Chains A and B, each alone.
Chain A
Amino acid sequence: MPPEKLVHMANQIGKFFASQPRGDAPAAIADHLRKFWDPRMRRAIVAHLEQGGAGLDPPVRAAVQRLASESGHQTV
């Protein structure tokens, strides 16, 4: 999948959770990606992060980092 599109979609998710008054935005973003993104989409955004993660907003970058660290010991 084109990384620009995934980055755009992930940043949209990020803007919502970052605007919530309480809670851990990166955790909520990572949870949303886990629940609704098919594994190949998650793999693609993790790969994009590993390439430098251009365009990812800070909380989204943190969320994708969590996915990446999980993928170390299980399939993302």
Chain B
Amino acid sequence: MSEDTQMSLIDEIDYGTPPSQAAEMVTLTIDGRAVTVPAGTSIMRAAMEAGTAIPKLCATDMLDAFGSCRLCLVEIEGRAGTPASCTTPVAPDMAVATASERLDRLRRGVMELYVSDHPVTSLDPCTLDPCTQGDVELLDVAAEVGLTEVRYGLDGARHRSTGLDVSNPYFMYDPEKCIVCSRCVRACSDVQGTFALTISGRGFDSVMAAGSDQPFLESECVSCGACVQACPTGSLIEKAVVETGRPDRTVLTTCAYCGVGCSFKAEMKGDDVVRMVPYKDGKANHGHSCVKGRFAWGYTTHRERILHPMIRDSIDAPWREVSWDEAIGFAASEIGRIQARYGRDSVGAITSSRCTNEETFLVQKLVRAGFGNNNVDTCARVCHSPTGYGLSQTFGTSAGTQDFDSVEQTDVMIVIGANPTDAHPVFASRMKQRLRQGAKLIVIDPRRIDLVRSPHVEAECHLPLRPGTNVAVVTALAHVIVAERLVDEDFVRMRCDWDEYQDWADFVLRPEHGPEAVEALSGVPADLIRKAARLYATGGNGAIYYGLGVTEHSQGTTAVMALANLAMATGNIGRPGVGVNPLRGQNNVQGSCDMGSFPHELSGYRHIAGGDVRRLFESDWGVTLNPEPGLRIPNMFDAALDGSFKALYVQGEDILQSDPDTRHVAAGLGAMECVIVQDLFLNETASYAHVFLPGSTFLEKDGTFTNAERRIQLVRKALAPRNGYADWEVTLLLAKALGMTMHYDHPSQIMDEIARLTPTFAGVSYARLEALGSIQWPCNANAPEGTPVMHVDGFVRGKGRFIATEYVASDEKTGPRFPLLLTTGRILSQYNVGAQTRRTDNVVWHHEDVLEIHPHDAEMRGIADGAWVRLASRAGETTLRAQVTDRVAPGVVYTTFHHPDTQANVVTTDNSDWATNCPEYKCTAVQVSPSNGRSPWQQDYEAFSDRSRRIAPVEAAE
């Protein structure tokens, strides 16, 4: 994107109807010109592709044709009447006229009626107040068809008005402006898949209504904003547009919330962001978004954002605002002092999965080349590290196998340990589209997640397993597939190691892996296990989508391997529609792993012990690298407590709130002599920090994020950093203060270095990203435009490797003291520790964490819906309100971890995955009992938290 296009408003072409996927091409003439398009294309789209815009109101290319507005009429030689061009497909040798005196007259007549029903004071868009009149697509079309007067007047009777609805915090609905084109209704059903909107009433009384004619906020609306984006009249409009006015320029960028990685147009007016509109050419989201990405960016200007560096000698003292020079100088001298006193390995850093690839790469370089050790880790440690290890052992790469578009060719989906409608909502909408087309769904989850049953979607099987039994259940699926001879033997013989397969087949056939034996462990009926296995193995293209419900267990890595085994045994790998797909949590968790954030490996997943790889980096960086793996995040806390780890630089991660066993984390942080936190806000970890370096938001910097489909996308600076520096610049300041000589003027130079040192990124550069829009790694000489689907002709490691997956029960066993199992997760409107979303209006949907408990368990304990309860484990206890629901099975309770005053992680334990130390968040033995109020821990923590956030008043200048 050139500077010029950045400066102007991007108004994407609307082709009116979606593209046809047909291979067969058809040639017709439109206004005398020959046009060739795929069969099945509408006349409207064919005309637009040839550069002729046919007037339209109810049509838009995100939605199937509807044929209601009667504006897009055309004449077709040899056919009677004036058919709608949106609903009429092209045919060979068809001759179409898009304009004629008759068509003009008809369109003006239709338009005149629409305008008479719309509260405007003038037909000239230039004379209207853009704020109060909102979006004027309707008036643009009126001008386009040459409507100059309205014979019925501009103040005639209108559709029934149900009153202005301002209940949603981000957009408003004025029914008076509605022309009943149904674009919003169809966007809600076809694109988002929520079916919250409808046309209520009949004839002239028709009007769009949310839910059962309710305010938006009370309806089942999930506030994705697709309806607002679709509305051609301003009947639905962002409040920010009404308040700030219409934007005048666009900056294309990438969302900084989840691993879907939606492309957005940041629409700007002057130096303000007016709104975020999903970009139709975005390959991950195709013009759709969720409530977080589209609306929840107000935290960037929140009053609690810290804009000045601060330091303090002890965590009991108030913060003192200082200059950047002083803060950086203090941090560097502390690191130097601590290394001199406690040794080179006594310091480390945590890279952020929220920051860019370039920023992450710099932090790990700072550690390896500057600190001279490998004590660097990233929050992927606590989410998808088992994915990295499990998939590299079986397939040879530490990443998902498909692109998101692959789901369009999927016939059977397994969704295990993931809740896409809450955590990956934009991809969940794609899944629901495919499910409505007839694909089958198997959900393996302790909770009845929304996908199990929601409007027009119903899972074929839901396996409500006991938390901690994933490996047993997935191995039982394999047992059925092998026992019933459903294995794709040709695929296995050709693509996998046959001896290892046979060992594995013998292993899974053991009676203890049979459905009956596993029913006893997991609580999943044996017949349901059989049904699911048969469906996945025989239902056509089978795709596995999984999340942290798979990885965050003591056997997380084993479960990932079990899923990979399943895909290989059924031949569901190496083509569109299939695969093993981790749904990555954070915007750049894939990227932070790719960039060498793990203590044992350099960028591109190459072990630090490898001499050749290390020498490559040593010659580029001009340093000697330590060949030993460093500490992982949980090990850092242990090492801090034994006195061998004393300083930590944390960029953009709130480990105190997000890591398990809060008391252990707090003790570890408390034992360190210098904690440097770089963040937007004084987060929970900052309570233990000595240096606070203000961070920048994704709107304030250039860089790249890599999403769950390995897609590298540009993040572009829309605003100057309010704190003064982009995060990569802050790291650079620290590196220089430590005596490192690295220098970059722009993140593109960091990417050039990444590409130079990382074979899977060899073909990546900002110029290529600008040209291609996005690139899925590997991108190199063999795949110059990237790789949407992996392992097509062979596995990256050569032969696919089957691995035996013995079930080992978690240490978190229920018993008399702790008879329930707690599992944790996220909700749509909030994001992880909530540092951002809690500082937006998203709190109207979720202002506190609640505990879901089954009616049976609640009744036994005398707990009513909404009552305060005490939640206790062997690690700690907290209190929160109960929500009595049969969404969780008896014996299972569930909560979210978005709010620091609940701190679900006080309760979770320091158990972890055997291979990677990924914490076992998803399975904790607990007891729940009625409570009168907050736990002593919560009261102490609040007092501590208030005290540690004090900022000393700045003394007046002399």
Chain A residues within 8 Å of B, Cβ to Cβ: 1-2, 5, 9, 12-13, 15-16, 19-22, 32, 34-41, 75
Question: Would you list the 10 A-B pairs with minimal beta carbon distance, nearest first?
Answer: A19-B806, A12-B914, A21-B503, A1-B638, A38-B631, A39-B628, A13-B914, A15-B808, A1-B642, A20-B804
Please, what's the 1-or-0 string for B906-944, where 1 marks a CB less than 8 Å from any CB in chain A? 000010101111000000000000000000000000000
CB distance from A30 to the nearest CB of B (A): 14
Contact of A41 among B507, B635, B808 (CB under 8 A): B635
B607 interfacial by beta-carbon distance below 8 Å: yes
Contact of A38 among B503, B635, B912 (CB under 8 A): B635
A-B contact pairs, 6 of them (CB 8 A): A2-B638, A16-B808, A32-B915, A39-B345, A41-B631, A41-B635
Question: Given known contacts A15-B808, A19-B806, A20-B804, is B630 in contact with A38 (CB within 8 Å)?
Answer: yes
- Report how far A37 CA is from B914 CA in the complex, Å: 12
Q: Cβ of A40: which chain B residues have Cβ within 8 Å of it?
A: 345, 631, 639, 644
- Report how far A35 CA is from B635 CA in the complex, Å: 14
- Report how far A40 CA is from B914 CA in the complex, Å: 18
- Report how far A17 CA is from B644 CA in the complex, Å: 30
- Report how far A21 CA is from B503 CA in the complex, Å: 7
Q: Cβ of A1: which chain B residues have Cβ within 8 Å of it?
A: 635, 638-639, 642
B558 interfacial by beta-carbon distance below 8 Å: yes
Q: Cβ of B914: which chain A residues have Cβ within 8 Å of it?
A: 9, 12-13, 15-16
B865 interfacial by beta-carbon distance below 8 Å: no
Question: Given known contacts A21-B804, A22-B503, is B912 in contact with A9 (CB within 8 Å)?
Answer: yes
Which B789-844 residues have a C-beta within 8 angstroms of A?
Answer: 803-804, 806, 808
Question: Given known contacts A15-B808, A21-B804, is B629 in contact with A35 (CB within 8 Å)?
Answer: yes
Q: Which residue of A lies closest to B914 (CB)?
A: A12
Q: Cβ of B600: which chain A residues have Cβ within 8 Å of it?
A: 35-36
CB distance from B840 to the nearest CB of A (A): 39
Q: Which residue of B lies closest to A39 (CB)?
A: B628
Cβ–Cβ contact A21 & B506, under 8 A: yes
Main secondary structure of the interface of B (DSSP, over half): loop
Q: Which of A20, A37, A38 has the most CB of B within 10 A?
A: A38
B39 interfacial by beta-carbon distance below 8 Å: no
Cβ–Cβ contact B915 & A16, under 8 A: yes
CB distance from B214 to the nearest CB of A (A): 51
Which B629-662 residues have a C-beta within 8 angstroms of A?
Answer: 629-632, 635, 638-639, 642, 644
- With A9-B912, A9-B914, A21-B804 known, 10 other A-B pairs at CB within 8 A are A15-B808, A16-B915, A19-B806, A20-B803, A20-B804, A21-B504, A21-B506, A35-B600, A38-B628, A39-B628
B375 interfacial by beta-carbon distance below 8 Å: yes
CB distance from A13 to the nearest CB of B (A): 5
- Report how far A37 CA is from B634 CA in the complex, Å: 12
- Report how far A13 CA is from B917 CA in the complex, Å: 10
Cβ–Cβ contact A13 & B607, under 8 A: no
Q: Which residue of A lies closest to B912 (CB)?
A: A9
B554 interfacial by beta-carbon distance below 8 Å: yes
Q: Which residue of B lies closest to A11 (CB)?
A: B914
B side interface size, CB within 8 A: 34
- Report how far A36 CA is from B391 CA in the complex, Å: 17
CB distance from A47 to the nearest CB of B (A): 12
B103 interfacial by beta-carbon distance below 8 Å: no
Contact of A35 among B554, B609, B803, B917 (CB under 8 A): B609
- Report how far A47 CA is from B628 CA in the complex, Å: 19
Contact of B806 among A5, A15, A32, A75 (CB under 8 A): A15
Contact of B804 among A12, A19, A38, A75 (CB under 8 A): A19
B175 interfacial by beta-carbon distance below 8 Å: no
Q: Which residue of B lies closest to A75 (CB)?
A: B628
Q: Cβ of B910: which chain A residues have Cβ within 8 Å of it?
A: 5
- Report how far A36 CA is from B638 CA in the complex, Å: 15
Contact of B599 among A12, A19, A20, A38 (CB under 8 A): A38
CB distance from B489 to the nearest CB of A (A): 19
Please, what's the 1-or-0 string for B537-558, where 1 marks a CB less than 8 Å from any CB in chain A? 0000000000000000010011
Q: Cβ of A37: which chain B residues have Cβ within 8 Å of it?
A: 629
Cβ–Cβ contact A35 & B808, under 8 A: no
Q: Cβ of B507: which chain A residues have Cβ within 8 Å of it?
A: 21
Q: Cβ of A15: which chain B residues have Cβ within 8 Å of it?
A: 806, 808, 914
Question: Given known contacts A36-B629, A37-B629, A40-B639, is B917 in contact with A9 (CB within 8 Å)?
Answer: yes
Q: Cβ of A75: which chain B residues have Cβ within 8 Å of it?
A: 628
- Report how far A13 CA is from B914 CA in the complex, Å: 5
Q: Which residue of A lies closest to B630 (CB)?
A: A38
- Report how far A3 CA is from B600 CA in the complex, Å: 22
Q: Cβ of B917: which chain A residues have Cβ within 8 Å of it?
A: 9
- Report how far A5 CA is from B375 CA in the complex, Å: 20
Q: Cβ of A13: which chain B residues have Cβ within 8 Å of it?
A: 914-915
Cβ–Cβ contact A16 & B607, under 8 A: no
CB distance from A39 to the nearest CB of B (A): 5
Q: Which of A2, A5, A12 has the most CB of B within 10 A?
A: A12
Q: Cβ of A16: which chain B residues have Cβ within 8 Å of it?
A: 557-558, 806, 808, 914-915
- Report how far A1 CA is from B634 CA in the complex, Å: 11
Which B53-101 residues have a C-beta within 8 angstroms of A?
Answer: none
Q: Cβ of A22: which chain B residues have Cβ within 8 Å of it?
A: 503
Q: Cβ of A9: which chain B residues have Cβ within 8 Å of it?
A: 912, 914, 917
- Report how far A37 CA is from B630 CA in the complex, Å: 7
Q: Which residue of B lies closest to A13 (CB)?
A: B914
Q: Cβ of A38: which chain B residues have Cβ within 8 Å of it?
A: 345, 374-375, 599, 628-632, 635, 639
- Report how far A37 CA is from B629 CA in the complex, Å: 6
CB distance from B602 to the nearest CB of A (A): 13
Please, what's the 1-or-0 string for B502-530, where 1 marks a CB less than 8 Å from any CB in chain A? 01101100000000000000000000000
Q: Which of B554, B609, B639 has the most CB of A within 10 A?
A: B639
Please, what's the 1-or-0 string for B362-404, where 1 marks a CB less than 8 Å from any CB in chain A? 0000000000001100000000000000000000000000000
Q: Cβ of A19: which chain B residues have Cβ within 8 Å of it?
A: 804, 806
CB distance from B559 to the nearest CB of A (A): 12
CB distance from A40 to the nearest CB of B (A): 6
Q: Cβ of B644: which chain A residues have Cβ within 8 Å of it?
A: 40
Which B600-626 residues have a C-beta within 8 angstroms of A?
Answer: 600, 607, 609
- Report how far A1 CA is from B635 CA in the complex, Å: 8
Q: Cβ of A39: which chain B residues have Cβ within 8 Å of it?
A: 345, 628
Q: Cβ of A36: which chain B residues have Cβ within 8 Å of it?
A: 600, 629, 632, 915-916
Q: Cβ of B375: which chain A residues have Cβ within 8 Å of it?
A: 38
